[in-house]
Amino acid sequence: MGTQSGSRVLPAPGSGGAKLVKFLTSSVRLGLTAVWQPRALYREFYKKPEPLRELPNRAGEVVVLTGGTRGIGLQVLTKLLQSGFHVIMGCRSLLAGGEVIASIRAVGITTGSCQVLELDLKSLKSVYTFAATVLQEVDRIDLLINNAGVMFSPYEITENGYESQFQVNYLSHFVLTSLLLPRVKETSLRVDKHVACRIVNVSSVANYGGKIDFDELEECKVYVSTKAYADSKLCQILHTRYLDTILRSEKHIKVNVLAVHPGTIVSELWDNLPRFILVIANAVKGILQTTEDGANTIIYTALSPKLEGIGGVYIANCEIVPPNQQVENVHVQQQLWERSLELGKL
């Protein structure tokens, strides 16, 4: 039907009935475990995340960020520069990246530095090239924030043969993390390093609607875009938990891996939602969180001294909360890890 950067948009597989069952099962799971819990509702729609009282000075340190061109990522980028970091930003368009930096400088933020490198998460080749360039450019990586994402995309198979939400949100970030990890570990051992390095996976409350089925992990037999998004966000938390456990068992290595839900925030991420939902969402935007609130939660997860030494957790609105129950299943964590190592090979 359509082609974009080596991927193909195809008719969504599965009969209407099978799709309806899948949609309802996932939505009910999400509703019962997250949305209709009073505490979760309070966290999602009432409580505002508290920004760090003071951004720490991290001049001389390096952060790799995906998806800083707009939405929540743009606010995260701004705060990282305010902290003094050297930011390596991976984005699809170098031009868009350059314009974003110029817009941040134009409002008078002069601290930190930023280098924009090309990265298309729909292509594993692009991920490998990006990682190789990062490793050539910097001798330390103190922080990695896997933020870029897509939501509810039409059924699309990437040039690598995988469903696009699975690849963009999860698999490509899994590969990127694996490729940069040796440098992150080396950084954690540096004598000038006084805090642990962190890897932050930007997940979503949608994880509660997910359930990993290894028979259709990377290519769906029945495609429902909401369920595929939920699964990709659940994969990120399973990865977070498993990688953190591995790193904890490695002597002297101080790298913590955390997952975060930034909040329900109207952004371009929502563009695939039906028009009437967008109209309602825009009408009630005032009571939802803003991209700045979302960035505050991500920055809290990435930089807060309160989280020093803590990892493997899922954070929403600056609180550690239990994620989808499947995250506790070590067998699923391990199976996903092993399968991802295979799928991520070029």
Contact string (CB under 6 A) for ligand NAP, positions 27-66, x = contact: ---------------------------------------x
Q: How many residues touch ligand NAP (CB under 6 A)? A: 30
Query: Is 229 in the active site?
Result: yes
Residues in region 135-154 near ligand NAP by CB under 6 A: 147-151
Per-residue H/E/C for the chain: CEEECCEEECCCCCCHHHHHHHHHHHHHHHHHHHHCCHHHHHHHHCCCCCCCCCCCCCCCCEEEEECCCCHHHHHHHHHHHHCCCEEEEEECCHHHHHHHHHHHHHCCCCCCEEEEEECCCCCHHHHHHHHHHHHHHCCCCCEEEECCCCCCCCCEECCCCCEHHHHHHHHHHHHHHHHHHHHHHHHHCCCCCCCCEEEEEECCHHHHHCCCCHHHCCCCCCCCHHHHHHHHHHHHHHHHHHHHHHHHCCCCCCEEEEEEECCCCCCHHHHHCCHHHHHHHHHCHHHCCCHHHHHHHHHHHHHCHHHCCCCCCEEECCEECCCCHHHHCHHHHHHHHHHHHHHCCC
Question: Which member of 208, 229, 242, 314 is catalytic?
Answer: 229
Which span (110-118, 186-194, 261-269, 329-337) binds ligand NAP, by CB under 6 A?
Answer: 261-269
Q: Which of 91, 171, 235, 315 binds ligand NAP (CB under 6 A)?
A: 91
Q: Which of 122, 173, 198, 254 binds ligand NAP (CB under 6 A)?
A: 122
168 near ligand NAP (CB under 6 A): yes
| Closer by beta carbon to ligand NAP, 124 or else 222 | 124
| List of residues 6+ apart from 63 with CB closer than 8 A | 80, 85, 86, 87, 88, 141, 142, 143, 144, 145, 302
**Residue the block writes with tokens 């990892």:** 311
Q: Which of 202, 220, 247, 327 binds ligand NAP (CB under 6 A)?
A: 202
Residue 193 beta carbon to ligand NAP: minimum distance, rounded to whole angstroms: 28
Residue 228 beta carbon to ligand NAP: minimum distance, rounded to whole angstroms: 12
Q: Which of 153, 204, 207, 226 binds ligand NAP (CB under 6 A)?
A: 204
Which span (92-100, 179-187, 216-224, 249-257) binds ligand NAP, by CB under 6 A?
Answer: 92-100
| Closer by beta carbon to ligand NAP, 213 or else 268 | 268
Q: Which of 8, 19, 47, 70 binds ligand NAP (CB under 6 A)?
A: 70
Contact string (CB under 6 A) for ligand NAP, positions 95-114, x = contact: -x------------------
By CB under 6 A, name the binding residues for ligand NAP.
Answer: 66-67, 69-73, 91-93, 96, 119-122, 147-151, 168, 202, 204, 261-262, 264-265, 267-269
Q: Active-site residues: which are they? A: 229
